[in-house]
Structure 1
């Protein structure tokens, strides 16, 4: 049997036994899916590449130390590692991702309306800044789901897998996030619910 046709578990065993190509095939097998999911969350190619590399450094360290025990669940395990690294990045940065269009511009910066007055533009920019600030004040689990759904364009099923919760929990967190944003917009911060 060709190495490419082996299961994830077989390739991991080969790698742990000293056969480097086992990991190379696994990386090749999942690199597009993993990189894309990281990129959708961070919207920055070089940052996505850094997190992708950091993910596999953690994978290698875990495999080499003999601590890997996710029988048959290699991809969800790697996705969880990448997801945690993205969350760590945003916790360090304390900011929401920028909404970038295909040309690499922040959509909030390049949205132009034909007859937009300077005053209207200032109000719109302030609204976007306020929204970003409000998102930052959400509880982490709500902020995470909101970012993945709206900035990462992930389905609730994908969010549930990555965050290791049920789809109903992911939906509930989104509902709480939207309710809390609405309350913040109307100045009812005392009624914020942790959800």
Structure 2
């Protein structure tokens, strides 16, 4: 039977039974619609691609756990997941996330998933280690602002007072720190995922 004639529900059922290619058909079938929706909200190709991938990571995890029960409504379900991830993206980027002041930098203290299995815990530890290494590669002035903001939860006003530079300079250093971290990530092909 040709793929176009197989319903989403059948493909989902086949994937759950262990037929990995069924998921590929579903992704190809709905990629344009889901990606276009995400892009229309974030207006950035890279961010849209990241959220699209995160959407299907969540879809796979849910299907593998046997938690899917939207029989025959696969696309609306996936669109809801992507919509929630877009909202999460804006929440995270509305302002810099605050981190718990545990002394040790933990990028995942802002993620609200408490049910971590051993594999994901290991991945998170690896990524945290990667992030610490990235921070070490930054110029001293940028690293200082980033650490004060992220480790110590200081406001830009407090950073300005402590470093003796204007708030705008502190903001600029933070911005360049994030830009440079992105460049370092790209240069080393580091994949930060959770």
- What TM-score bracket applies, with the shorter chain setting the length? 0.3 to 0.5
Q: Give the TM-score normalised by structure 2.
A: 0.48
